[in-house]
Amino acid sequence: MEYLTPQNINRRIFVKGVGLISAGLLLGTLGGCEEIAEAIRNRPIRRRLRVGSPEVDADIATYKQAVTLMKALPASDPRNWNNQAGIHGTVLGGFNLCQHGTPHFFSWHRAYLFYFEKICQKLTGNDKFGLPYWNWNQNAALNPAFLDTTSVLYLPRVNTDVTSLSAVSTAELAPIFTDTDFYTFWQQIEGTPHNTVHSFVGDIMGGGGSALDPIFWTHHCMVDYCWDKWNIDMGNNNPNDPTWNNTSWNYFIDANGNTVSSMTAGITTLMPLLSYQYEHSDIGTPVSQRIVKTKAEFNKLQERIKAGADVKFEIKQRVPIASRTTLSIARPFAAESKALAGNFTSIINNDATKDNVFVSINYVQLPAESDFFVRVFINSPGANANTPVNDPHYAGSFAFFGSPMPANSAHMAMSAHAHVPKFLVNITPTLQKLKKNQELTGTSQITVQLVAVPFLGKFENPATELLLDTIELIVTPIIINHNDQ
Ligand SMILES: [Cu+2]
């Protein structure tokens, strides 16, 4: 791929909101223009984990070597395996610095993976190493390399094959990928496939200490690929909001074990263009890969990514449904809204609507157990755990990730705000379907049912309660990409 020449790449790169940064930061090179262009052209490939590919086998071998070397580092070395995982959180202490439920879910984890990958490259002496990703939509069964109990990639887990999870199915992911608004796209990716896979795999992967499990890095690499595909292949834009772009973190650890004083969300947006690339694969509905062949195309793409767009999480209409209620997971919860389908006529009747209707569900705190996910149905009073997901009233699902912070936890004040469970499920396609089936008329009341479904057929603790803060219907505008290229 001859898309860069020494003439079109500078030693310094201008990032919106950040100003000039050294290209070496993103590329791991301090060379001249020619070497920089070369480094971008040959940036590491993050491949899809699968069986039967010699390249993937080689990546797994390097990954094993990297994990072994990180575990062998002294505890005083910040690149040590436990120390790296501790940035995210710990088994006993819960979440630490990781961002969940904030608009930096994607960017924070991207920066975290970026430095982890650099540490792997440095320790193994393989600067071509790219973290492999677990595409749960295409390869539901976890790669067997992680199941060998004698391997450094092994840890006990409850489930390693996600075939039964609708949260990673094309039916559930495809509508999420049609969402062009960064804020609602991120919230759905986090709450649906991301959380569900964490909790379903379970054990250490189900909580704050999840980065201790080598699967974590391949799972988050997939989450990062979701963002990459949406942003680069599909032409959607990240926020141009300076507050978002300038948000910075001063604790990541570089390949040499030094603390990085400033990494920003704005810089992370350029990482897939400059420091690694994804081997293409499908997530939900196939989307063609954006292949950049010329320097002009590369520059145009880079300009679009740097510019972002004026995207906001804007709520045009809000209909409260319920608030401050205790729900038992053992019984489906049904609530009626004051909203009539007629309130949303323009959305329901228009397949090309520019707005989305979401059920927005906020809980007060994480439940004590999270061995289940929650299905959302619309106008289906009898919905229960046996109602199939191809029922026309089914709208989507979400799961909880993590446990409540231990009381008096040192981290509680610091990061609990970032882990308040809140979810968005887009019910626009369901409302349109029900209208077409003539189940909804203008005067039909819209009702919402929440059904908890245990991962393994029965709840570990059926007495688990969910403290609901609010459920409401919200209408958000779809953002048009004015500078789509
Ligand atoms: Cu995660």
CA of 161 to the centre of ligand 1 (A): 17
pLDDT for the residue 343: 81
CA of 247 to the centre of ligand 1 (A): 20
How far is 76 from 89, CA to CA, in rounded Å?
A: 18
Tokens of 179: 């969402």
Q: How confident is the model at residue 484 (pLDDT cuts 50, 70, 90)?
A: very low
CA of 197 to the centre of ligand 1 (A): 9
Q: Is 445 helix (H, G, I), strand (E, B) or coil?
A: strand
**Single-letter residue type at 139:** N
Q: Which helix (H) or strand (E) holds 323?
A: strand 317-328
Domain boundaries, the chain: 6-307, 317-477
Q: Is 362 helix (H, G, I), strand (E, B) or coil?
A: strand
Tokens of 352: 């090309």
Q: Could you tell me how far CA 467 lies from the centroid of its own chain?
A: 24
Residue showing tokens 């505890």: 75
Q: Could you tell me how far CA 457 lies from the centroid of its own chain?
A: 26
pLDDT tens track for 344-355: 887 887 777 778
How far is 266 from 241, CA to CA, in rounded Å?
A: 10
The phi and psi torsions of 339 (rounded to 5 degrees) equal: -80, 140
CA of 195 to the centre of ligand 1 (A): 7
How far is 85 from 74, CA to CA, in rounded Å?
A: 15
CA of 242 to the centre of ligand 1 (A): 25
CA of 98 to the centre of ligand 1 (A): 9
- Contact criterion met (CB below 8 Å) for 223 and 189: yes
Residue showing tokens 């293409």: 280
- % of residues, the chain, pLDDT over 70: 89
Q: How confident is the model at residue 183 (pLDDT cuts 50, 70, 90)?
A: very high
CA of 43 to the centre of ligand 1 (A): 25
Segment 278-282 mean pLDDT: 97
CA of 207 to the centre of ligand 1 (A): 9
CA of 414 to the centre of ligand 1 (A): 18
The phi and psi torsions of 293 (rounded to 5 degrees) equal: -105, -30
Residue 441, pLDDT > 60, answer yes
CA of 165 to the centre of ligand 1 (A): 17
- Contact criterion met (CB below 8 Å) for 104 and 98: no
pLDDT for the residue 31: 66
CA of 19 to the centre of ligand 1 (A): 30
Question: Which among 349, 120, 360 is positioned nearest to 218, based on CA atoms?
Answer: 120
- Contact criterion met (CB below 8 Å) for 110 and 232: no
Tokens of 468: 């609901």
CA of 413 to the centre of ligand 1 (A): 20
The CATH number that domain 317-477 falls under is 2.60.120
For residues 344 and 48, which has the higher predicted lDDT (pLDDT)? 48
- Contact criterion met (CB below 8 Å) for 45 and 277: yes
CA of 194 to the centre of ligand 1 (A): 6
Residue 9, pLDDT > 70, answer no
Q: How confident is the model at residue 126 (pLDDT cuts 50, 70, 90)?
A: very high
CA of 55 to the centre of ligand 1 (A): 26
How big, in percent rounded to 5, are the helix, strand and coil portions of the chain?
Answer: 35, 20, 45
CA of 340 to the centre of ligand 1 (A): 37
Mean pLDDT is lowest, of 48-52, 184-188, 280-284, 418-422, for: 418-422
CA of 196 to the centre of ligand 1 (A): 10
Bridge-based pairing state of the strands 277-278 and 333-340: unpaired
Q: pTM for the whole thing?
A: 0.93
pLDDT for the residue 62: 98
Question: Which among 333, 404, 338, 341 is positioned nearest to 375, based on CA atoms?
Answer: 333
Q: How far is CA 264 from CA 223, 270, 278, in A?
A: 19, 11, 22
Residue 408, pLDDT > 60, answer no
CA of 393 to the centre of ligand 1 (A): 29
Q: DSSP assignment, residue 230?
A: I
CA of 211 to the centre of ligand 1 (A): 8
Is the CATH code 1.10.1280.10 the one for domain 6-307? Answer: yes
Q: How confident is the model at residue 19 (pLDDT cuts 50, 70, 90)?
A: low
Highest-pLDDT range among 182-191, 321-330, 336-345: 182-191
How far is 295 from 344, CA to CA, in rounded Å?
A: 46
Segment 291-319 mean pLDDT: 90
The CB density around residue 107, as the number of other CB atoms within 10 Å, is 27
Tokens of 264: 């920003």
pLDDT for the residue 312: 87
CA of 49 to the centre of ligand 1 (A): 18
Residue 170, pLDDT > 70, answer yes
DSSP string, 449-476: EEEEEETTSS-S-TT-EEEEEEEEEEEE
CA of 267 to the centre of ligand 1 (A): 21
CA of 167 to the centre of ligand 1 (A): 15
Q: Is 312 helix (H, G, I), strand (E, B) or coil?
A: coil
Segment 306-315 mean pLDDT: 91
CA of 335 to the centre of ligand 1 (A): 30
CA of 198 to the centre of ligand 1 (A): 7
For residues 101 and 376, which has the higher predicted lDDT (pLDDT)? 376
